[in-house]
Amino acid sequence: MERIGFIGLGIMGKPMVQNLLKAGYAVTVFNRSPSPISDLATQGATPATSPKQVAEQSDIVITCLPDSPDVESVVLGQDGVLSGARSGLLFIDMSTIAPATSKKIYTELQAHGIQALDAPVSGGDIGAQQGTLSIMVGGEKAAFDRALPILQAMGKNIVHIGAAGAGQVTKACNQIVVAMTVQAVAEALILAKKSGVDPAKVRDALLGGFAQSRVLEVHGQRILDGSFQPGFKLDLHRKDMNIVLQTGREVGVPLLGSSQVTVLMDALIAQGKGNLDNAAIALLYDLLSNA
């Protein structure tokens, strides 16, 4: 069984490691803050002091980090993955970053005999905890086949999309649908509330019809409860929407709906609400409509 290294132990990364441990893998872990390293060490993970050390002790290295510069630094920077890697290592980035960055890292690692996959995920903290993530993968088919058993310990819907960067393009598409659906659910439930109709009953009715969605199910309940403890932080979704808009500009696609929902995110972040769940878009509708 291949040895796994995992870098980035946040809301998503930590439960993903726990599922790898449950599947019987030996996992070496590193994170900027030490607390999750200590927690996972008590569950059987091996602590490391740097990305370089993770690579030295692993056959496959996985990253799950906030943004493009973080991944580039961890992989290509001083004491990074590349400095500790040997030919034959497989690198899997499960962060959500710019497709152009994924392609750059892929090219750099290929030059050193290292395979690389971009494999961003969807499903939020619940999917990470339950091992039911949707995983969209870009890179060589042989690398995907090698990675598949590991990915199956963390996710259920695992699709090889195409060449390097294709996974990140797919994740950008995912974030468009999620963002605009969250906005739609917020609008619908606030409209019901302001009209004097029970929004909980409206949600129940919609869940049985063509408007049914995972966002309506999970985020709709969060909106009804007024509970915005983050499963996926608004400021991270805003970061993803920047990738969406950047990619749209690069390929010449006018993303009108994406631009609109991004402005709503900007307004909430300006109010200091970036650490809330992305369903907090409903708070802005509450404010604007005095609901």
Same domain, 12 and 155: yes
Give me the mean pLDDT over the 177-195 stretch: 98
Model pLDDT, residue 153: 98
Same domain, 64 and 117: yes
pLDDT in tens, 75-91: 999 999 999 999 999 99
Same domain, 11 and 127: yes
Among 128, 162, 196, which residue terminates a domain? 162
pLDDT in tens, 204-243: 999 999 999 999 999 999 999 999 999 899 999 999 999 9
Same domain, 277 and 176: yes
Model pLDDT, residue 194: 97
Same domain, 182 and 277: yes
What domain count does the chain have? 2
Same domain, 9 and 126: yes
Model pLDDT, residue 160: 98
127 pLDDT above the threshold of 90: yes
Give catalytic residues, as residue numbers: 171
How distant, in Å, are the alpha carbons of 40, 81, 130, 197, 205 from that of 10?
A: 12, 19, 15, 39, 35
Among 162, 192, 216, which residue terminates a domain? 162
Query: CA-to-CA distance for 93 and 62, rounded, in angstroms?
Result: 6
- What are the b/e assignments for 100-119, b being 16+ CB within 10 Å? ebbbbbbeebeeeebbbbbb
Model pLDDT, residue 95: 97
CATH code, domain with 240: 1.10.1040.10
250 pLDDT above the threshold of 90: yes
Give me the mean pLDDT over the 256-284 stretch: 97
Same domain, 116 and 252: no
Model pLDDT, residue 231: 86
Same domain, 16 and 141: yes
Same domain, 76 and 209: no
Instruction: With H, G, I as helix, E, B as strand and everything else as coil, classify residue 167.
Output: helix
Same domain, 175 and 151: no
Model pLDDT, residue 291: 83
Among residues 179, 178, 182, 172, the alpha carbon closest in space to that of 248 is found at 172
CATH code, domain with 79: 3.40.50.720
Mean predicted lDDT score pLDDT of the chain: 97
Give me the mean pLDDT over the 33-51 stretch: 97
Tokens of 139: 């890179």
pLDDT in tens, 92-126: 999 999 999 999 999 999 999 999 999 999 998 99
Backbone angles phi, psi at 27, to 5 degrees: -125, 125
Domain that holds residue 64: 4-162
pLDDT in tens, 150-166: 999 999 999 999 999 99
Same domain, 191 and 229: yes
Model pLDDT, residue 251: 94
Model pLDDT, residue 246: 95
